[in-house]
DNA sequence: CGGGGCCTTGAACATCATCAACCGTCGTGG
DNA sequence: CCACGACGGTTGATGATGTTCAAGGCCCCG
């Protein structure tokens, strides 16, 4: 494994094209809207209601269960973990959210957030008032469509890990999925850092932390990957994808 | 257990109030829109693009993986099962959909359906062209809001069963959840029929069919419920809810 | 150095899956 | 009308996968 640094902040792949977009060049949300067929003056409207938040530091919460719902947020940099505490006091990790991904969508139905969102490292956000973006969406069909798709995609994603899969399949799917999501944002697909502790990965995959340890070790012994503490390199991507295939359904 | 018949079709609790609504009195979708603040002329527009489908008989598909996505659908009567077949040929049940619930939401992001939907008994549907309803939603903020909430709710629901729970917790949550959803549509909350075979319940809960059998039997022996083939009566709802609490998070 | 997370490793255990057989019900056809 | 067969469901015995418990190691930071 080389000694190149592991990326933690957005590399700015969404850099502006030299015009007014400079004021939010790393905000993937508006970028996506553009590609949905929104013109630039519409994007101006969108940016009128954006609020840049951060930096938040590891352990600081973006929102908590029961906070009044007022906005969704796009992650610009860092990793956000969403989770709930059930009535027996057990934590359940719902997901990890990387740059370009949106949190708070599950709060739209209801007037408070149904889960907690916490920064796992240094996090930057774009906050979008939901009432305002809804109103805007009635004027901008492209924005409405983008929101619909965003919500729809989350349903699909939530259903993925819900299936009945082995520890190996889950782990492989987690790694390949993470790789794909990071790659879509311009990060290296085969070398990245696990920004979350093993306990969170385990909890998310519904495994014991010890199992995560053992599976990772076995994957390494089998030449599928190299892992050193939180640094990871996918070595045999093809075999990992084969393992992950039943889960990811590509 | 008495010999009253188990309801299978919508009892018409959403019956019209004597006016133009009669033409779709059992369509919960439009009813919900009304309560979202839509006026009746708007509802007329909505009904212009509704297509009533059915009856479909047990085993007939509403749509299949890869079918071009063109519409979402509200279940008016019967039970619809959604599922996928993974690359190893294993089936994964994603959910059961009762009257008043909407299917196809996970297809919005993409131009084909990502899952199969099949009738478990005699099913009636209201079909809504999604392109058309999207356009309408830009004119009717209440409709847009309803769609957002519908999508958001599905995200939350998908996350529920995804957690790390015991067979007992899963089973209790399934039964209580089903009871609540039926009750919300005017069905008896404590006496209802399991419209799906044990294998489907097991698959949905990520258990073996044998485990479902055993848990149900133990629940019956413990006085939690009475079960006779597909007919079910919740006897000790309080204890079932306690068991289900970690999953349902009420 | 020393302490505290976080992670790993090993051994015993539990839960649930698997395998195999059987049963009850229903539908069909003799 | 009854025999048969198929399907769905139940039950028991066995076993695998992953959890739990306990201990130790590594790294970072004081």
H or E segment to which residue B116 belongs: strand B116-119
For A226, what's the count of Cα atoms within 13 Å in the CB-facing half-sphere?
8
Q: Is strand D within 7 Å of residue A91 (CB)?
A: no
Per-residue pLDDT tens digits for B141-156: 989 999 999 999 999 8
Per-residue pLDDT tens digits for A11-45: 333 333 333 333 454 566 666 655 555 666 666 76
Separation CA A180–CA A174 (nearest Å): 10
Contacts of A214 (CB under 8 A, 6+ apart): none
Separation CA A132–CA A237 (nearest Å): 43
Lowest mean pLDDT, pick from A201-210, B20-29, B181-190, B240-249: B20-29
For A81, what's the count of Cα atoms within 13 Å in the CB-facing half-sphere?
24
B114 close to B65: Cβ distance less than 8 angstroms: yes
DSSP labels, A165-202: --HHHHHHHHHHHHHHHHHTTTS-SSEEE--S-HHHHH
Q: What pLDDT was estimated at residue B27?
A: 61
Task: Provide the percentage of residues in chain B whose pLDDT is more than 70.
Answer: 82
Contacts of B88 (CB under 8 A, 6+ apart): A246
Long-range CB contacts for residues B220-227, cutoff 8 Å, separation at least 24: B224/B172, B225/B175, B226/B1
Q: For helices A40-48 and A28-35, what crossing angle results, to 10°?
A: 150
- Please tell me what DSSP assigns to residue B98: -
Long-range CB contacts for residues A219-224, cutoff 8 Å, separation at least 24: A219/A171, A219/A172, A224/A172
For B21, what's the count of Cα atoms within 13 Å in the CB-facing half-sphere?
21
Residues of chain A that touch chain B, judged by Cβ-Cβ distance less than 8 Å:
84, 86-88, 90, 92, 94, 105-110, 114, 134-135, 137-139, 141, 144-145, 147-156, 158-159, 161-164, 203, 206, 245-247, 249
Does residue A126 have a pLDDT over 80? yes
Contacts of B99 (CB under 8 A, 6+ apart): B10, B26, B28, B75, B76, B77, B78, B185
Nearest-CA distance B105 → chain A (Å): 6
> Radius of gyration (Cα) for chain B, nearest Å?
19
A8 close to A122: Cβ distance less than 8 angstroms: yes
Q: Using the CA of A229, give the nucleotide whose C1' is nearest.
A: C7
Adjacent-strand bridge partners of B232: B192, B227
Separation CA B91–CA B94 (nearest Å): 10
Q: Is strand C within 7 Å of residue B231 (CB)?
A: no
Lowest mean pLDDT, pick from A133-137, B18-22, B46-50: B18-22
Domains of chain B: 20-160 (2.60.120.10), 167-248 (1.10.10.10)
Taking contacts as CB-CB distances below 8 angstroms, the residues of chain A near B249 are 84, 86-87
The answer, yes or no, to whether the previous bond of A55 is cis (omega within 30 of 0) is: yes
Q: Is strand C within 7 Å of residue A211 (CB)?
A: no
Q: What pLDDT was estimated at residue B5?
A: 37
Does residue A160 have a pLDDT over 70? yes
Nearest-CA distance B166 → chain A (Å): 11
Nearest residue, CB atoms, B164 vs list A92, A138, A164: A92
Burial A204-219 (b: 16+ CB within 10 A, else e): bbbbeeebbeebbeeb
- Please tell me what DSSP assigns to residue B112: B
Mean pLDDT confidence for B97-108 = 95
Q: Which 138-167 residues of chain A approach strand C with CB closer than 7 Å?
A: 164
Does residue A108 have a pLDDT over 90? yes
What tokens does A26 get? 């790393």
Per-residue pLDDT tens digits for B188-242: 999 999 999 999 999 999 999 999 999 999 999 999 999 999 999 999 999 999 9
Mean pLDDT confidence for B169-197 = 94
Q: What pLDDT was estimated at residue A5?
A: 37
Does residue B120 have a pLDDT over 80? yes
Contact criterion met (CB < 8 Å) for A162 and B162: yes
Does residue B119 have a pLDDT over 60? yes
Q: What pLDDT was estimated at residue B159?
A: 84
Q: What pLDDT was estimated at residue B22?
A: 34
Nearest residue, CB atoms, A164 vs list B87, B92, B139: B92
Q: What pLDDT was estimated at residue B197?
A: 96
Q: What pLDDT was estimated at residue B34?
A: 56
Does residue A172 have a pLDDT over 60? yes
Separation CA B18–CA A28 (nearest Å): 50
Taking contacts as CB-CB distances below 8 angstroms, the residues of chain B near A147 are 148
Which positions of chain D lie under 7 Å from any protein Cβ? 8-13, 17-22, 27
How far does CA A139 lie from the centroid of its chain?
28
A108 close to B148: Cβ distance less than 8 angstroms: yes
């Amino acid at each position: 494994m080389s000694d190149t640094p592991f990326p933690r902040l957005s590399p700015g792949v969404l850099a502006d094209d030299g015009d007014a977009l400079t004021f939010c060049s790393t905000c993937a949300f508006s970028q996506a809207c553009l590609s949905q067929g929104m013109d630039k003056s519409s994007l101006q409207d969108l940016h009128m209601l954006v609020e840049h938040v951060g930096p938040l530091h590891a352990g600081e919460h973006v929102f908590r269960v029961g906070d009044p719902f007022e906005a969704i947020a796009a992650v610009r940099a860092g990793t956000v973990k969403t989770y709930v505490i059930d009535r027996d006091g057990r934590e359940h990790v719902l997901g990890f959210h990387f740059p370009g991904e949106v949190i708070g969508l599950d709060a739209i139905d209801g007037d408070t957030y149904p889960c907690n969102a916490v920064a796992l490292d240094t996090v930057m956000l774009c906050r979008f008032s939901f009432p305002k973006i809804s109103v805007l969406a009635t004027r901008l069909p492209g924005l409405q469509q983008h929101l619909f798709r965003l919500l729809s995609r989350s349903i699909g994603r939530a259903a993925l890990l819900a299936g009945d899969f082995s520890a190996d399949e889950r782990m492989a799917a987690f790694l390949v999925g993470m790789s794909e999501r990071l790659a879509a944002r311009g990060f290296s697909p085969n070398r990245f850092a696990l920004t979350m502790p093993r306990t969170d990965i385990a909890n998310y995959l519904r495994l014991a932390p010890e199992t995560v340890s053992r599976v990772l070790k076995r994957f390494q012994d089998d030449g599928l990957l190299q892992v050193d503490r939180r640094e990871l390199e996918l070595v045999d991507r093809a075999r990992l994808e084969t393992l992950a295939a039943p889960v990811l359904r590509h």
